[in-house]
Every structure is written in structure tokens, then in C-alpha cells.
Amino acid sequence: MKRSRAYFPCTPGARAFHAPTRRSFLYSLGASVGSVALSSMNARGSELPDLGPLSPKAGHLPAKAKNVIFLMMEGGPSHIDTFDPKPKLEKIHLQEFSRGGKEKSAMESGKRYYVRSPFKFAKRGQSGADMAENWEHLARVADDLCFYRGCQVDSVNHPTAMFQMNTGNRFGGDPAIGSWMTYGLGSENEDLPGFIVLPDVSFPQGGAPNWGNGFLPAHFQGTPLRPKGSPILDLKPPHGITREHQRQNLDLLAKLNGIHHAEHPQHDELAARIEAYELAFRMQMSVPGILDIEKECDAVKEAYGVGRDPTDAFGRKCLLARKLVEKGVRFVQLYAGTWDSHDYIERAHGNLVTQVDRPIAALIEDLKQRGLLDSTLVVWCGEFGRSPDNGVRNGTAYGRDHNPKAMTIWMAGGGVKAGHTIGATDETGAEAVECVHHVRDLHVTLLRLLGLDDNKLTYFHGGRFKQLSQFGGSVIEELIG
């Protein structure tokens, strides 16, 4: 295959007028989120440092990355049909699936049967990375990728598996990994949210809790940008309202809210709302310019597949993700789906690969050319993998079921071991057998790459100190370069 190369040119704090109660005195011993937010507002425009909750913070350890772009392929992409070839399935194609029993033709039994991949595989790059041949563009950056085949999760259901991959808790309600990272490190741009989500038109299974702040203060929740129309509703002021009018209204609101917050310091939602108003005010100036990708040169838009089918939608997300991390946004998550191919996997996965292949390759090349790949960790994954077998569906409508015991995740940049494949699954792809780790260890590893120690990145809630890994995990040292 001919190797081509993409080209990229181109308000004073309010006072409470009453004697402090015992509760307010105890809260005043430490800097509450509300007081920090108000201090941040006072500091803007002055020579004082910004003390807001999203201000940049030092990590616990030397960091290899400072930003994350998380590519979530919702629905569970099949590792067997993308990056983990299984020649054994060619030999036992359409034989009945059995856990130790005698195999026989599924056409005779009408039961579950093994299914070979409809895609041919090839070795790519000097590293010899395994890729299905329909990943034509990603092949160009094969040597920048680190493939991991040893991850396992607990659930076979989409919502619970999505929650676990995104938050570490399959029952939902806990902070998303992007929330933990912004809680630990803050953001490098005070005019944008630290954690931005680019969903599809319909939200993923489980909905907004996939990027919720959980028990962390509300400042750290993900901000979804709408894929069509205005990215954020009501961002623009009403007709006839000037920024001077808005500033006066916000100053008055901050004063009144500050008085109320001084009386109820335990309500951190109010402090978050105060800061949200201020952030929205600043975003009115910064967001339109960043989100306007039409100003990018034609060569860049062409490389990402913007303006053409079927790559336009995801190409725009990838290009926007690059612009956001370039502006200092800590964590950007992109959704593409759904990969839930229980039948017709050749058609379904084939179409999805075509939609994301060119944009993802362009994203990595663009980051690399701009000197951002070393400091940006790119993660590609779904919520689980797929099984080597499926039930008979119209004879030839081959598909695969959910598989929490085997999947392929790949990463690029951000200090991972580029050009390596770590871990392995068994001969049919049913289960991880080498370098096997629970998803909590993957989360701990991602934090480590950002200079965060999972055991130190904690938040007191519900009577104990909580952390992303729930009860602790181990760094997967094999993934770190």
C-alpha cells in the first residue's frame, strides 16, 4: 500500500451582617469552593493570581501529558474486526460455539456459532501493528500508536459498561474521568470549560451522567457542545443587551449571591452557579472564534474530511478537539457510534470505520506537526469488545455479541509506548490472557500519565475519601514509554 502524508500548513466579596454560627465558623476554617470562586472573580483584571477552582494546579508526579482527547466509540467496537486478528476463526467459521463440548455445524444446530472476520488484516508501519485493511488512513500513523489488548470490564450491558469506562462505577453517579482530571489539574484557559464533550446528535446510553461531576463540586462537570445549531444554547445575549449591561447585572447578582452563600457555605452548587455565570460571560467572546472551523485553511479541512461525506461530522469534532487542547482545555471527549453490531458487521463496522478513519489519522498528524502530540494523550476505545461467536441471523448476517473480557484500546502521544502492542487475547479473541488488567488500572495509568496519583487524588464524600479507581488500582507500567 502506498504511504501518503497529510499536509497541514497553515466584584467585591459580599459580607454577611450577622454573627457567625458554629457551622459557618467551621466552614470558614478552609477555603470553601464558593469563597475560592468569588476570589477568582475579584482577581480578574488585577495583578492578583487567579484562585478559581479551575486554575492550573501542580500534579503529584512529573507529568508526561497535560491534555487528553478521548475518542469514545460507543457500542463496543469489535477488536476481532479492527486491531486483533484471529486466524483460528477462519478454521472454525460457522462451527457451533462450545465451552469444551464437541463442535458441530451451526447450520445443523441453529445455535450459536463462531464467526470469522469479514475483513482482511495487514501489518502496518515499522512496528508491524495489526490493522484491518479498511483502516487506510490510520495506517499512516501506526508507529505512533500503542495498542493494549489486556483490558477487562465487568458488565455486558451498554449503560453500565459506559458508566464504568467513563467514571469507574458501573452504576453511575460518580465523577467522570474528565472531572477527576480537571479537579486535580484545573484548566489552562479561564475562558473555556476545562472538560468539554462532543456527543452525537443523540446522547450515548446512560446520557449525561457519562460526563457528570458526581460528588465533586459542580465546576468540574463536562460541558457538552451541541453538534448542530448553536453549540451552547442561550450563549448570545438578547437583542439590545450590551456587554456593559451584562457586566452590571452580573456584579449585582454576584453581590446578592455572595451574601446568600455566606449564610449557607455548605451549598457549593451556588458557588458553581456564580462561576458559571462568569464563565458564560467570558465564553461569549472566546467560543465563537474557537468553534468556527470554517476559518481553517482548505488543506487542514481536507485532511480531516470536513465538507465531504461520510467524514464531515466526525472530522469537525476531531478538528475542534485539536483547537480546544491548543487553547488549554484539559479534557475533550468525542463520541462516535454506534458500534453495536449484532448482525451485518461487515456493513456496520465498515461504514463506521470509513467515518472515523481519516479524521483520527489527521488529528494525530496535526497534533504531531504542531508539537502537541507529546503533551496530548489520545485514547481510542469503546465500553467493551465483541465475542467471537453469535447466533444464526439469516444465514449470512454475521455479527457479534458483547464481550467484557476482551477488547482493544489504543493510545497515542502523552508518554505512552508508541509502536508497541501490549497484552494479548486467546486464539479466538474471547478473553484477554496476557497483561490482563481491570479497567480501574487503565484509569490509574491515565492519571499517572497526567502526573496524578490515584491514591492522592481523593475527595471526601459519604463518610470516606473517594477516588476514581474506587478502592485503588495499579499502574500498567508496560504502557508507559
Q: What is the pLDDT of residue 457?
A: 97
Measured CA to CA, the distance from residue 182 to residue 272 in angstroms comes to: 14
Q: Where are the domains of the chain?
A: 22-479
Tens of pLDDT along 244-303?
655 666 666 667 777 777 777 766 666 666 666 555 545 554 455 667 788 899 999 999
Q: What is the pLDDT of residue 255?
A: 74
> In angstroms, what CA-CA distances link 170 with 96, 166, 176, 207?
32, 9, 11, 13
| CATH code reported for the domain at 22-479 | 3.40.720
> In angstroms, what CA-CA distances link 362 with 7, 17, 160, 227, 453?
9, 58, 32, 20, 32
Q: What is the pLDDT of residue 126?
A: 97
**Helix, strand, or coil (residue 96):** strand
Q: What is the pLDDT of residue 288?
A: 52
Q: What is the pLDDT of residue 192?
A: 83
Q: What is the pLDDT of residue 189?
A: 82
Residue 325 has phi, psi (to 5 degrees) of -70, -30
Q: Do the Cβ atoms of 198 and 335 come closer than 8 Å?
A: yes
| Stretches in the chain below the pLDDT threshold 50 | 1-5, 7, 9, 11-51, 101-109, 233, 281, 285-286
Angle between helix 345-369 and 312-326 (nearest 10): 30
Q: What is the pLDDT of residue 44?
A: 39
Taking the CA atoms of the chain, what radius of gyration do you get in angstroms? 24
Tens of pLDDT along 35-76?
333 333 343 333 334 447 788 999 999 999 999 999 999 999
Look-up of cell digits 456527543:
199
pTM: 0.81
